[in-house]
Amino acid sequence: MTLTMLRCLARRRPGTRAAATLILGLAAGATTLAQADEAAPEALSAPFASAFVAGMANVGYAPTASVTRTVTTGLAQQLDKNLSVDFQMPDPRAYLTSGDALASADTLLTDRDLPTNDLASATTLLLIVAWEIVHDQRMTPRQVQAVLRQSARAFEDHPLVKARQADRQQAAQLRLMVAALLHAESRHRDDADQPALRDAVQRDMLSVSNNDMRALTASDTEGLVSATGAR
């Protein structure tokens, strides 16, 4: 089972800074991609997750145990094909198959005020975790919310909106488990071992999603944007 592809590309419109455009699709089998339109930032909500679920989320799902088992087993069996990280944490595959990875992902979602059981939210979490590891910096709540809006816009008119919930669950839980794995590995490593992890995460995000995390900066209003265009 391979990771679901997501791309974050920068483009420029007259009179605006370069803004990140998210492109998301299924790497395993599906080839249709959807491109997000840039939109004006929305006012912050409190709590933001509740407002998002009520007004923006269109790629939610009701998780089933059978899909979770399929995703977990597939990722554990092919972990080396998805990620180049030389894990130092004890038994990353057991971390997946025990359910600890998904439980940790839910904790991370709650910590960032992100909705659960939603593909846009899962995409946001993976982008956040990867960006924070590569940049050795934590995003602010406003930046997190901007990335969530950005991810949600990317799914407008995407085939997954009309797909089976099982397909959305599979795509989301792949992202969630990888995000949890990377976060746990970062927490496990000493400071001296963090640069190697940063390089691996940068390499893997480029490989599976064409996201150059080092070239992106976090904006309070636009999400992940080209660092060059944001200057």
Angle at 68 between CA 184 and CA 8, to 5 degrees: 60
Q: Is residue 99 part of a domain?
A: yes
30/157: higher pLDDT: 157
What is the model's pLDDT at position 58?
A: 67
* Predicted TM-score of the model (pTM): 0.78
Residue 10, helix vs strand vs coil:
strand
Q: Which has the closest alpha carbon to 180: 120, 133, 113?
A: 133
Q: What's the residue count for the chain?
A: 231
Averaging pLDDT over each range in 53-67, 69-83, 216-230, which range is the top one?
69-83
Neighbours of 164 (CB within 10 A): 11
Q: What is the DSSP string of 199-228?
A: HHHHHHHHHHH---GGGEEEETTTEEEETT
Mean pLDDT of the 71-83 span: 92
Q: Is residue 47 part of a domain?
A: no
HSE-CB of 110 using CA atoms within 13 angstroms: 6
For the chain, how many structural domains are there in total?
1
What is the model's pLDDT at position 83?
A: 93
Q: Is residue 63 part of a domain?
A: no
Instruction: List pLDDT tens digits, range 109-168.
Output: 999 999 999 999 999 999 999 999 999 999 999 999 999 998 888 887 777 777 788 988
Q: Is residue 201 part of a domain?
A: yes
Query: In this structure, what token pair is assigned to residue 109?
Result: 């979602």
Domain residues for 84?
5-39+72-226
Residue 2, Cβ density class (10 Å: 0-12 exposed, 13-18 middle, ≥19 buried): middle
| % of the chain surpassing 90 pLDDT | 58
What is the model's pLDDT at position 154?
A: 82
Q: Is residue 59 part of a domain?
A: no
- Does position 42 have pLDDT exceeding 70, yes or no? no
